[in-house]
Amino acid sequence: LGQSIVYRETIDSTNSLAQQLALGGAPEGTLVIADEQTSGRGRRGRQWFSPPHSGIWMSLILRPELPLAHAAQITLVAAVALNQALSRATGVQAGIKWPNDILFNGKKCCGILTEMHAEFDQIHHLVVGIGINVNVAQDEFPAELEGIATSLQAIRGERIPRAQVVRTVLEEFEPLYRQYVLNGGFGTLRDAWKANNITLGRHIVAHTARGDIEGLALDIDEFGVLLLEKADGEREKIYSADITVIN
Ligand code: BTN
């Protein structure tokens, strides 16, 4: 991964450029990275705050030959790679909030946005977008993010060189991605995800399209689906949701 690198000082969104390049035939593993994004995108149509000189805003083009059904699982794989990379490169011991946010002390320092293109029911390509708040000062975040976002600099109390973090993310992602491709999905990486997670064993509310569901986060399955146990003992599978941890 990262054999071919496309760098821009300023771009609307590295995910958008990566999509264009992927459709134009850019090879597997191409890294698109920018110093600043003017329209950084988050999940669920949200914006991603991407000021200059202070973050890692990057997207990877991947071409796994897998059924489309496995595409979303790459985000969980990326979360494991990211969390391990943070620990190794910076000593920050953060954790994954299901499915793929990286949190430290309840505040988010990294986000992942995967976009996919399919040909019939096979993956044509994936764009895995990764945002890491590296040297964003805590008081630099917009007011609405103040209580929910943090950065590596804010956590460590010193500036962190970005290049080392980028390199480590790629190093951690590469072998996990190989496993994902070879084994046809997330299944064999489930234990690694569990070792990096801060959600299982907690009481949570899952905000799903069907409404809020409250319960104890019991486990995830080989597809990355979250299993909840509700107060009445009934178990429920959560396929897609934002979650809030209660305790
Ligand atoms: C989220 O948690 O909502 C996902 C945030 C993803 C942000 C990254 S920054 C690089 C890439 N380009 C984008 O426009 N978004 C992703």
- Assign a CATH topology to domain 203-245: SH3 type barrels. (2.30.30)
Query: Ligand 1: which atom is nearest the Cα of residue 43?
Result: 3
Query: Ligand 1: which atom is nearest the Cα of residue 101?
Result: 2
211 pLDDT higher than 90: yes
The complex scores an ipTM of 0.99
- Give residue 137's pLDDT: 93
83 pLDDT higher than 90: yes
Specify the CATH number of the domain 5-195.
Answer: 3.30.930.10
9 pLDDT higher than 90: yes
- Give residue 13's pLDDT: 98
pTM of the complete model beyond 0.80: yes
Distance from the alpha carbon of residue 99 to the mean position of ligand 1, in angstroms:
15
Q: What is the spatial distance between Cα 40 and Cα 72, in angstroms, rounded to a whole number?
A: 20
Asked whether the CA dihedral 40, 132, 185, 44 is positive or negative, the reply is: negative
What is the Cβ-side half-sphere exposure of residue 194, based on CA atoms within 13 angstroms? 16
Q: What is the pLDDT of residues 218-239, one digit of tens each?
A: 999 999 999 999 999 999 999 9
44 pLDDT higher than 90: no
Tell me which residue has its CA closest to atom 7 in ligand 1: 131
- Give residue 76's pLDDT: 95
Mutate-to-test residue for ligand 1 from 33, 47, 126, 130, highest number of ligand atoms within 8 A of CB:
130
- Give residue 142's pLDDT: 95
Distance of CA 66 to the CA centre of its chain: 20
Judge whether 41 is annotated as a binding position: yes
Judge whether 83 is annotated as a binding position: no
- Show Cβ contacts of residue 133 under 8 Å, excluding neighbours closer than 6 positions: 54, 55, 109, 110, 149, 150, 151, 152
Mutate-to-test residue for ligand 1 from 36, 103, 113, highest number of ligand atoms within 8 A of CB:
113
- The residues spanned by each domain of the chain are 5-195, 203-245
What's the whole-number mean pLDDT along residues 76-92? 97
**Residues 82/86/134/205 CA torsion (nearest 10 deg):** 60
What lines the ligand 1 site, CB under 6 Å?
Answer: 13-15, 37, 40-43, 46, 48, 50, 57-59, 101, 111-113, 129-131
Judge whether 42 is annotated as a binding position: yes
User: Using the 8-state DSSP alphabet, how is residue 71 labeled?
Assistant: G
